[in-house]
């Protein structure tokens, strides 16, 4: 998992830019009104966004050069808000071509 370290000395504007980038490149739809993770604090939403980018990038650390991003084994999921872990890719053979699909 990649989470936001929530240190208060980070530049808030830069954190917001990285959060917007992470959610733009991944899936933060769980924050929509009435959605499962709608109740998260801003800091928790930043962690969720950072983690989604990391997971959707096949856990490539180079994709998570984000302000305050830290790799951890702690899972902050709650009963109603799941922080996905290890989104797998599967290669499917289709005749002579190889297709990669994400599940």
Specify which residues 94 forms β-bridges with.
Answer: 97
Residue 37 has pLDDT above 90, yes or no: yes
Per-residue pLDDT tens digits for 84-95: 887 555 555 555
Give the Cα separation of 75 and 99 in Å (integer).
32
Overall pTM surpassing 0.85 (yes/no) = no
Summarize the confidence of residues 16-20 as an average pLDDT: 96
Quote the pLDDT of residue 9: 87
Q: Which tokens is 79 given? A: 């009963």
């Amino acid at each position: 998992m990649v989470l936001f370290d929530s240190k208060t000395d980070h530049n808030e504007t830069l954190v917001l830019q990285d959060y917007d980038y992470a959610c733009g490149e991944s899936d933060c739809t769980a924050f929509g009104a009435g959605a499962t993770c709608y109740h998260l604090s801003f800091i928790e939403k930043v962690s969720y966004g950072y983690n989604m980018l990391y997971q959707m990038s096949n856990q490539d650390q180079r994709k998570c050069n984000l302000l305050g991003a830290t790799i951890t084994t702690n899972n902050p999921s709650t009963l109603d808000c799941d922080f996905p872990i290890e989104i797998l890719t599967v290669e499917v053979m289709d005749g002579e071509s190889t297709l990669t699909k994400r599940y």
